[in-house]
Amino acid sequence: MNTFRLDYDAAGGLLNPSGRDLFLAALKARPDSDILFVAHGWLNDRLASQQLFNFFAQGLAPKLVCGVSWPSHPWKSNAAGLVKGGAELASYYLMKERAAKVGAAFAGDLRRLHAELPDLRIHLAGHSFGARLVTAAAQASAPDGAAAFIASMTLVQAAFSHNSFAPEGGFRDVLSRRLVRGPILVTHSTHDRAIGQGYPLASRLKKQNASSLGDASDPYGGLGRNGALGLTPAECMHLNLGDLQVLRTFLAYPVINLNADRVFQGHTDIEKLELLETLKSLWCPADTALPDPQS
């Protein structure tokens, strides 16, 4: 199969260096191609993460897919996938920080890969807290003064702040420095209860606010519910997931919010053809490139 996986521990250490060697050998056989790195979300065990990786690998074949696995499940989740008190809430805070830590470590492997295969087009995708992981990786991918090399990034029902790319946001430099050369795609759905209810509830426990829970007026709302907020019209385009012809017209935009209300009916309801076709629209023939972000 066209899929590989990199397994990281809680500190960002790579657990399977032999797997990385096999992966690198496969890439060297096709150094001018596209590769998608996919990070799974919160409370995914090895079986669940491999199922997600296989979904992308089978749907995007013959393109290569590499899963990014990280320990995201110290305790069991509840049936609804919502944040509730006690151990699961503690898990939420721990996993939020761990995703960022592993992402920063993963960035080192991306830099080494780019140095060895500079013509390889590297795409990132992440679900839930996995979206936070790949965004942290993008943020750490190119030190000041270094050229950006991430081709695109797709955040699928992301479990972090809808203000993250705004001027006051923690990941603003990913946008302001154009650390992703192509678009940052952000899916969002009103049917995502985990991000629409659980995420803002957990995020506001230390700072209470009277705004409506989870919607665009809530300062603690999440990307997976509302998309990226606080951006100028020149920075962000708003489209619907699945409208591929329109999407291809706007790939030069730094951020593209993709309304997934028609497609995703829940936080984990993401294994859909529309998502695969969206990712395929980012692939480039060997003699072309994504639109120049400065043009």
Mean per-residue pLDDT over the chain, rounded: 85
**What pLDDT does residue 85 have?**
47
pLDDT confidence bin for 83, thresholds 50/70/90: very low
Q: How far is CA 82 from the centre of its chain?
A: 20
Phi then psi for residue 188, to 5 deg, are: -150, 145
In single-letter form, the type of residue at position 19 comes to G
Q: What is the dihedral of CA 182, 187, 188, 193, to 10 degrees?
A: -140
Amino acid 286: pLDDT:
39
Q: Which of 247, 120, 263, 269 is nearest to 194 (CA)?
A: 269
The residue with tokens 């629409």 is 196
Q: How far apart are CA 95 and CA 92, in angstroms?
A: 5
What is the value of pTM for the model shown? 0.88
Residue 267 confidence (pLDDT)? 93
Q: State yes or no: pLDDT of 76 exceeds 90.
A: no
Task: Please state the domain extents for the chain.
Answer: 3-280
Give helix 129-141 / helix 87-116 axis angle, nearest 10°.
40
State percent of the chain over pLDDT 90: 63
Angle between helices 17-28 and 87-116 (to 10 degrees): 40
Give pLDDT tens digits for 191-217.
998 886 666 566 655 453 434 444 564
Residue 203 confidence (pLDDT): 61
Domain 3-280: top CATH class = alpha beta
Ranking 249-253, 279-283, 284-288 by mean pLDDT, the lowest is 284-288
The residues, any chain, with a CB within 8 Å of residue 52's CB and separated by 6 or more, are 38, 40, 44, 67, 127, 271
